[in-house]
Each structure stands twice: as structure tokens, then as C-alpha cells.
A and B are shown apart, each in its own frame.
Chain A
Amino acid sequence: MYPEELKYTKEHEWLRLEDGRLARVGVTHYAQHQLGDVVFVELPAAGDAVSAGQSIAVVESVKSVSDIYAPVSGRIVEVNSALEDQPELINEDPYGRGWIAVIEMDDPGQADGLLTAAEYKAHIGEA
């Protein structure tokens, strides 16, 4: 449910460190379950500069319209445009095909301050 190799935020985003300064981000299993069926995703544009905590996407589910926040500061270098036609990928495969964006981090050290899987599980009361 909460892969050990990922970092997490209290706002229910995950982050996967990739080559160099790149970080792939998405929402957690807990978040997709809370949202229920996702019916629309408004994505950022590649090239957008983002700061940690800033809204980078909006997810509409059958229950709510919710902001998705950038876990780190940097620049959006890739977005998952498959979500435009298949927003349900967020429910079906939140850590895989349901990823939202790739951020090139200003400072890769930023990810160190995020939650570990164990800390995130404690945060959502599943530890």
C-alpha cells in the first residue's frame, strides 16, 4: 500500500527520486481511496515553476474537488497526459500509471525532509 522506497507528504502525495534532480509525484493509495472514483484531473503544464506546498493539479472525484500540492520546489518537466482520458488510473494504479508529474528539483536535498513510509502510515493511523 505504501512502498518503502517512496517519500510522502502529510497532504497524501508521494515522491519517487529518479535520475539526478528528477522526482516523480502522485497521490497515495489513502488519497485515492478517500477521493473515490476520480473523474477529472487538471494537470500543470511542463515548464511551470513550482514551490513546495503550491497547488500543481486539481483532482475531481465523485466526492470532492481537491488540490494536489507540489512536495518539492522546482520545475515541471513532464506531466501524465494519459490522465486526461483515463483519470481512473489514479484509482487503479496510484504509484504506477496514475503518476501526475515529474519535477526537476531546485535542490535534491529537499526530499530528505519528507515522510518515510513508516512515518506516513503513522500519520494516517495505519502504523
Chain B
Amino acid sequence: MEWRLLYTGAHPGALNMGIDEAILHSVASGGPPTLRFYGWNPHALSLGCFQDAAEVDLDACRRLGVDVVRRPTGGRAVLHGVEVTYSLVLPEASGIVPQGITESYRAISRGLARGLASLGLETRLAEGRQRTDAPGRRGLSAACFDAPSWYELTAGGKKLVGSAQVRRFGVLLQHGSIPLALDAGALFACLKFPDEAARARAKAAFAAKATSLWEALGREVPFHEVAAAVAGGIGEELGVEFREGALTEREEKTAEELAREKYARLDWHRRSGRTYPA
């Protein structure tokens, strides 16, 4: 089984989300399952699909030169800075990754863990907690790396990799962040808090609970080495070969349209989030 491997470089938030979604459309119409690695230029804060944008200090983001974009996936805010971002897009009925949500996270996480192990880092799979105190989303922190999320990889007891999924048109898209270095100061400067003491508390809690790859490894491994290791781990775990390729012309065009017409707007989810440009 041969899947496509893409290195698309670093782009603004809207184009990055446009590319992920363009790949989803392409897989929905029979294109090859695709593993993509990318970065963010400028750095960007991404919000969950239905997250309230009022949690974000948009003025502060502008001052800091941080892009703000809404992801097609769920979860909370993530600051994408010095990191390796991956996305894996494949049919739900691939026969390779289990169809169940939990089981699919577990299979992909095992691949990520295998890749990181090849760099010399032992990680553990942590299953996100179910909230028992529901109702709705009250009380959850705005920051993803500080709140319960689903399968995540931890290193030394701290959260390292967070991932999120969307399932549309029979296609599964999972993307996630592997931070190489963390900037908790910038993350918490981008979010709104009732006062500075609350901001300081949130930041301290985050620093105690989250780590980065370079911190966990104790050395600086470059982007491409990390991406290649992760691709190797996912390939071995799922039993697939990756062949490096490029976006098709159609995918590029769709990605640019989606970036311009959809992801450039933080309120895209409010205007019929289910319709897409062709």
C-alpha cells in the first residue's frame, strides 16, 4: 500500500487549513491517503471549530504578529510556533486505520510514538478524560494544551503532542502539533483573562503540564529530521509505504479558494459550515 507524503513548507494559518481541507476533498473523490508535514509563517493561533472567538485577544495577536485561524477540527486554542505540524487524511473505511474514533486515534498515536522513539524519546499514550461535570463547555480552559483533549502523547508526564479529528464525506482528517519549543508567554498573551493574576496562574499551570520535543529530548532536532522520523513511525505502525509527492494543481487551487473564501474569516463556521466551494 503506497500513500502520499507531502512537505508543504510554512504558510499563513488560512492557507494551511485550506490545504488540509483541499486534501480531504481530494481523498473524498478517490485521491491517495496523504500524510502532510507543515509549519506556520507567521506563527498562528488556531481555534477549535466551534470555539468562541471572544476567548481570543485579537488586538494582542495583531501586536504580536500572530495569525488567528479557525480549524475544521474540534478542541481548544493552539499556538503554532516552532513546531512540526502533521495532518493525516484517509478514507474512514481504509481498512488500515480502524473506523472507530477512539481506535483510530490510538492507531495513529502509536505511529507518532514509534517515530518519536526512533529519535530516542519514550512517550506514553494518554487517553483524554471524559468530562463528567458536563454541561456544555463551561469551565474548560481556552488553551488546548491545558485542557482535556483526546489521545495525546506525553513525555515525562507532560503533554507533548495534541491531535484533533474531523470526519466529513466519509474521510478522516487528523492533524496535530509536535512543538519543538514552547512559548507559553505568547500563547497566554493571545488569550483573554479576567485579570493578570488569572493569566499568570493559567500560564504557570500550562508550563507545569506541557513540554516540547527539544525540551524532552534535551537536544535540538531539526524540522525535517522530526518529520521523517514521524513518517517512518506511522508507516511502520500502519504497514504503508510513503512516496513523497506534491499537491495537485486542483488541490492548490481549492486550497487557495478555501483560504480566501472560508478560512480567512474567523466566523466561517457560522455561515453554513457544511458548504464548501467545489
Where the two chains meet, the residues of A that have a C-beta atom closer than 8 Å to any C-beta of B are: 34-37, 39-40, 42, 55, 58, 60-67, 85-88
Contacts and interface: CB of A to CB of B under 8 A. Distances in A.
A60 B135 contact: no
Contacts of A39: 50, 74, 136-137
Interface stretch (B35-43, B108-116, B164-172): B164-172
Interface in B132-148: 134-137, 148
A88 B167 contact: no
Interface stretch (B97-105, B184-192, B197-205, B231-239): B97-105
Please classify the interface of chain B as helix (H, G, I), strand (E, B), loop, or mixed, using the class held by over half of its residues: loop
Contact of B165 (A58, A65, A86): A65
Nearest to A64: B165
B254 interface: no
Nearest to A61: B74
Contact of A67 (B50, B131, B136, B169): B169
B274 interface: yes
A35 B168 contact: no
A67 B101 CA distance: 13
B90 to A, nearest CB: 14
A36 B72 CA distance: 18
Contact of B102 (A34, A58, A65): A34
B130 A37 contact: yes
Please provide the 6 A-B residue pairs with the shortest distance between their CB atoms, ordered closest to farther: A40-B50, A64-B165, A65-B166, A63-B150, A60-B74, A88-B134
